[in-house]
Amino acid sequence: MHSAKPLPTFLLQRYQGWKATTYAENSAWYRRLANEGQRPRTMVISCCDSRVHVTSIFGADQGEFFIHRNIANLVPPFAPGGDHHGTSAAVEYAVTVLEVAHVVVLGHSRCGGVQGCVDMCEGRAPELEEETSFVGRWMDILRPKYEQVADIEDETEKTRRLEQLGVVASLENLMTFPFVEQRVNDGTLSIHGLWTDIAEGTMSQFVNGMDEFQPV
């Protein structure tokens, strides 16, 4: 038996407002997008966190970004198999079908997923250690980076640094995908790592040669 219910009133009213204003004023553009298909230049991999609003941060219009969101904006390593691979499928589609020119991994401050990884690594989250924990097994992608922050005493700084290392881990894992590596090497694709402070509205980017994040 299906358990789906009608939309709550506040969401229905917001949709109706959008349809009567934004859509009505730009209907030709929406029809063009529908008929001609999407041609985004950039894929953005960001966190599910509701405070991270990618299109607002970059002032993007509909059709500009191919956006994939998951817990802690992580990219797993290339691992073909019989399991479900939502993030890997999104990367494959963006790179091989849409042929985006850029892939951006966007991390952020106060990330609950990264904090969960810290807690798990320090023995404070036994529930995440359970094999049945989807979040815990997903955060295993980041877990190897914890040893680089284990000795940091300030908890806020420890989590912030692991958030940034999560971006680095995702960049490293992206390069394990053969079709990503090939396009990066031939110059048709570039990958980028960003971290944003939600409270301050600041942005830092990963500088590969310097192996650190620098303000933009």
Q: 86-115: per-residue pLDDT in tens?
A: 999 999 999 999 999 999 999 999 999 999
Q: 181-214: per-residue pLDDT in tens?
A: 999 999 999 999 999 999 999 999 999 877 799 9
Please give, one letter per residue, the 3-state secondary structure of the chain.
Answer: CCCCCCCCHHHHHHHHHHHHHHHHHCHHHHHHHHHHCCCCCEEEEEECCCCCCHHHHHCCCCCCEEEEEEHHHCCCCCCCCCCCCHHHHHHHHHHHHCCCCEEEEEEECCCHHHHHHHHHHCCCCHHHHCCCCHHHHHHCCCHHHHHHCCCCCCHHHHHHHHHHHHHHHHHHHHCCCHHHHHHHHCCCCEEEEEEEECCCCEEEEEECCCCEEEEC
Contact assessment for residue 52 and residue 199, using Cβ atoms and an 8 Å cutoff: no
Q: What is the pTM of this model?
A: 0.95
Q: 116-156: per-residue pLDDT in tens?
A: 999 999 999 999 999 999 999 999 999 999 999 999 999 99
Q: 149-178: per-residue pLDDT in tens?
A: 999 999 999 999 999 999 999 999 999 999
| Per-residue pLDDT, 1 | 64
DSSP codes of every residue in 192-203:
EEEEEETTTTEE
